[in-house]
A and B are shown apart, each in its own frame.
Chain A
Amino acid sequence: AQSVTQPDARVTVSEGASLQLRCKYSSSGTPYLFWYVQYPRQGLQLLLKYYSGDPVVQGVNGFEAEFSKSNSSFHLRKASVHWSDSAVYFCVLRDTNAYKVIFGKGTHLHVLP
């Protein structure tokens, strides 16, 4: 069965520190993976997506993610976080039904100023 697991419900880091948000997936076929961000009282916005090719994909606002087939992972990274990065981050996997996606439960990132 297809699934997405974000093991960390909450992550707290200091401004300027590096960041990694973890995502593990289970997929029966080629995984199409996304990271979305939800700022307070807003809808979700796409950060980046991976379909194939270079396993490191660049996104908006300095975020990147690395796909690993051997580890079934798609971790999100940023070299230096800003307080404005405080938000909820969702890892998302396309389902076998191409019109449906599966959301992880989200990781709430709190950046200390």
Chain B
Amino acid sequence: GGIITQTPKFLIGQEGQKLTLKCQQNFNHDTMYWYRQDSGKGLRLIYYSITENDLQKGDLSEGYDASREKKSSFSLTVTSAQKNEMAVFLCASSISGSETLYFGSGTRLTVL
């Protein structure tokens, strides 16, 4: 089996700071995703990538950048952290399209 590793598990930043979250997968999956999870709001898609060097905006992409330089890794940057962005960010991958999503355990972001 494979695993998705998200680093760091906890990220504390200052308002206005640029922050980067990292995700690695060893499933050899083509598609990777970044979701934001806020309490009581389910998961909302920020960015996804169909293959290496591909980027697609999700429903919540404003204020974020993403990078997929290798098939196994997908990073997310919060361009200017805001206090209302305190949430858990989940990375996921799938073989392709709407097949089963495999999730990492998340990065919890706190903005001071």
Contacts and interface: CB of A to CB of B under 8 A. Distances in A.
B70 interface: no
B84 interface: no
A32 B4 CA distance: 24
Interface string A86-111: 00001000110011110111100000
A99 B40 contact: no
A99 to B, nearest CB: 5
Contacts, number: 51
Contacts of B100: 34, 46, 49
A45 B101 CA distance: 8
Contact of A99 (B4, B42, B98): B98
B34 to A, nearest CB: 13
A106 B101 contact: no
Given A32-B98, A98-B98, A99-B97, A43 B42 contact: no
**Interface residue SS majority, chain B:** loop
A44 B101 contact: yes
B79 interface: no
Given A99-B31, A101-B98, A41 B42 contact: no
A94 B106 CA distance: 22
Interface of B: 4, 31, 40-45, 48, 50, 56, 58, 90, 92, 97-98, 100-101, 103-106
8 contacts: A43-B103, A44-B43, A44-B103, A94-B98, A100-B98, A103-B42, A103-B43, A103-B44
A-B residue pairs, 9 tightest by C-beta: A43-B103, A103-B42, A98-B97, A94-B98, A105-B42, A103-B43, A44-B103, A43-B105, A46-B100
